[in-house]
Amino acid sequence: MSKKALWAGLALAAGTLAVATTAVLLAAPRAGSSDEGGSMSSGTWSIEPADWKPERAAAGPMVQLTLRGRSTHGHWNSTMPITLGELRGLGAEQMKGAAGEASFQIVRDAGTISCTGSFRDGTGAGHFTFAGNPDYLAALRAMGYRTPDSGELFSLAMHDVSRAFIKELSDLGYPRLALDDLVSFRIHGVSAEMVRDLQALGYRHPEPDGLVSLRIHGATPEFVRELKELGYDPPPALDDLVSMRIHGVSGEMVRDLQQLGYGQVAVDDLVSMRIHGATPEFVRDLKQLGYEHVAVDDLVSMKIHGVSPDFVRRANERSGHRLPVDDLVSMRIHGQD
């Protein structure tokens, strides 16, 4: 295949990919599988500009890197953001040119990905080869790990699971984590600093899956500290933290409710209020209509059955007095408008 044809095919494939913030391996070897012969040792790469700013953007300009290949288990691809500084030998000027050859390396503790190809107007494509680091493999064995297969070693390198990262986690009480867990930590941004902060906040030894779930849903140590400042001490269980973030319970919501007289609402009630739209604004509207400190269950029931502030106002005007909440809910259940 000519270089021009290769370029066109790779550029077209790259254009069909959605921007991703985490890497995905399709049909790659699973942990514990046998994959002899270096089937993950070569493939194709493409790079596109990254016009968004993830957390790591502070480390420098970002690009979107995609690697593709075949293994004995089928086709795979991996897409991830990466700083330009991690692409050794590649400068911004090479990417911006009208067209030009390029070669660069992604050097990780687990191994090195060597890339050759070309760029045109900020977008590049070409081929890569991967070579594992024998010292890294020896260190894994010394730490009690079996020798990873080629697919696992490639993932460990791609996501920069270094010996230092493994040791930090071991020192925090996570010795010999499964290789899949280590890769998942790196993909989702579970760091030793995050684990250390959670332990300081009272979470002695969260399960690896729980740590990933916290990170995915944004239940950060900062969120826990905010809740502690609002009186949730000890802080909620990890599952409750995740549920709060999934449903949009924020420190601001809790603070607003406290200012409206709701001291320390139970986590389940906060989640229920958020799910059904019983917001602090709804509470304020009811307060202006004379309904002081309506019970949380009643607030949720009113929202479920469509008892809006406008409905309350009309119903009270028709009756000539302030109706109890139960009557308002009953009226809506029976179709009164």
Q: Which residues contact 143 (CB under 8 A, 6 or more apart)?
A: 166, 170, 176
Res. 51 pLDDT band, cuts 50 70 90:
low
pLDDT at 36 over 60: no
**Which segments of the chain does DSSP mark as H helices, in order?**
3-15, 92-96, 134-142, 150-158, 163-171, 179-188, 192-200, 208-217, 221-229, 238-246, 251-259, 267-276, 280-288, 296-304, 309-319, 325-333
28: which 2 tokens? 């790659």
Mean pLDDT of 171-190: 96
Q: Which residues contact 188 (CB under 8 A, 6 or more apart)?
A: 22, 212, 215, 216
Structure confidence at residue 60 (pLDDT):
75
286: which 2 tokens? 């009811």
Structure confidence at residue 212 (pLDDT):
98
Structure confidence at residue 2 (pLDDT):
39
Structure confidence at residue 1 (pLDDT):
38
pLDDT at 92 over 80: no
pLDDT at 184 over 90: yes
324: which 2 tokens? 């109890």
pLDDT tens readout for residues 250-290: 999 999 999 999 999 999 999 999 999 999 999 999 999 99
Res. 41 pLDDT band, cuts 50 70 90:
confident
Res. 99 pLDDT band, cuts 50 70 90:
low
Tell me which of 60 and 172 has the higher pLDDT: 172
What is residue 39's DSSP assignment?
A: T
Range from 22-31, 166-175, 206-215 carrying the lowest mean pLDDT? 22-31
pLDDT at 227 over 60: yes
Structure confidence at residue 134 (pLDDT):
97
The values of phi and psi at residue 201, to 5°, are -90, 0
pLDDT at 4 over 50: no
One-letter amino acid identity for 213?
A: S
pLDDT at 57 over 60: no
Q: What is the pTM of this model?
A: 0.80
Structure confidence at residue 39 (pLDDT):
46
Res. 23 pLDDT band, cuts 50 70 90:
very low
Structure confidence at residue 213 (pLDDT):
98
Structure confidence at residue 30 (pLDDT):
39
Structure confidence at residue 58 (pLDDT):
59
Domain boundaries, the chain: 3-27+42-133, 251-333
Mean pLDDT of 37-48: 77
Q: What is the mean pLDDT of the chain?
A: 86
Beta strand 74-83 pairing with 100-107: unpaired
Structure confidence at residue 214 (pLDDT):
98
pLDDT at 334 over 70: yes
pLDDT tens readout for residues 307-316: 999 999 999 9
One-letter amino acid identity for 316?
A: N
Tell me which of 35 and 295 has the higher pLDDT: 295
Q: Cα 238 to chain center, whole Å? A: 16
Most trustworthy range by pLDDT among 4-13, 77-86, 99-108, 238-247: 238-247
